[in-house]
Amino acid sequence: MVLAYTIYLNEVFMKTLKKVVRGLTVLGGVAFITWFLIMWFDYDSIIPPNAIEYHTKEEITNFYRENKALLNSVKDSVLSSKSLLRALDRSNEGDIDVWFQSDKKYFDEEQWVNIVSVFENLHPYMIMMERKGRPLIFYMPFGSLEEDDTTKRTYLYWFPNEEEREYHEKPGVFPDGVFTQLDEGWYIVEETDTR
């Protein structure tokens, strides 16, 4: 009798456990889909995710030449922002990005207007400040271009010195990166991945 009752309780427990696991799995799936949709349609981003564009080396070169003062101003604003640097320190990461409207808190009004202007005209994925235990670096990744089995990416980098550029050319940082100098410290990096 006790054995039969124990078996019955075990069966009830297992059925209940299965229902709980199924419920948690469904809840987790719904939470993931909700998170994904929020991230995809995130209206807090400076530009909508579907506005991010791939740019060729020539397009970036032209934009740089036409907007050199603006890009240098944005670079200086990002690299000199003490509050952004504190956020980088708190994050324990090697870099920090600017791409949300809420990032406005790190900049004054004029700096923010310039940052938004770069996003509206060049459509980068984000603006980045990188340290990784080294001097500060500024860069902007752009969208990807998928062609057959190849993915192309371009970046606009500013390096504070030649040592940093050489470090970033090492295998493992940009394994397939091709660096083209635009100006003092400014480089376009082209990366190609083959699947």
pLDDT tens digits in sequence order for the chain, 195 residues long: 767 767 776 787 788 878 877 877 887 777 777 666 666 665 688 988 889 999 999 999 999 999 999 999 999 999 999 999 999 988 888 899 999 999 999 999 999 999 999 999 999 999 999 987 678 999 999 999 999 899 999 999 999 999 999 988 888 777 678 999 999 999 999 999 887
Residues 58 and 148 in one domain: yes
Residues 53 and 37 in one domain: no
Q: How far apart are the first and last CA of the chain?
A: 63
* Residue 29 C-alpha from the chain's centroid: 24
Q: Which long-range contacts (CB under 8 A, 24 or more apart) does 102-107 make?
A: 102/44, 103/46, 106/81, 107/77, 107/81
pTM for the model: 0.76
Return the ∠ at Cα 115 (arms to 126 and 83), rounded to 5°.
85
Rounded distance between C-alpha atoms, residue 80 and residue 76, angstroms: 6
Rounded distance between C-alpha atoms, residue 53 and residue 155, angstroms: 12
SS3 61: helix
Supply the pLDDT for residue 20: 75
Residues 75 and 32 in one domain: no
Supply the pLDDT for residue 37: 64
Supply the pLDDT for residue 43: 62
Residues 103 and 158 in one domain: yes
Domain hosting residue 6, numbered range:
1-41
For the chain, what percentages of helix, strand and coil (3-state, to nearest 5) are there? 50, 25, 25
User: What is the total count of domains within the chain?
Assistant: 2
Question: 58 phi and psi, to 5 degrees?
Answer: -65, -40
Residues 68 and 120 in one domain: yes
Residues 7 and 98 in one domain: no
Residues 86 and 13 in one domain: no
What 8-state DSSP symbol labels residue 59? H
Exposure string of 151-182, with b = 16+ CB inside 10 Å and e = fewer, is ebbbbbbbbeeeebbeebeeeeebeebebeeb
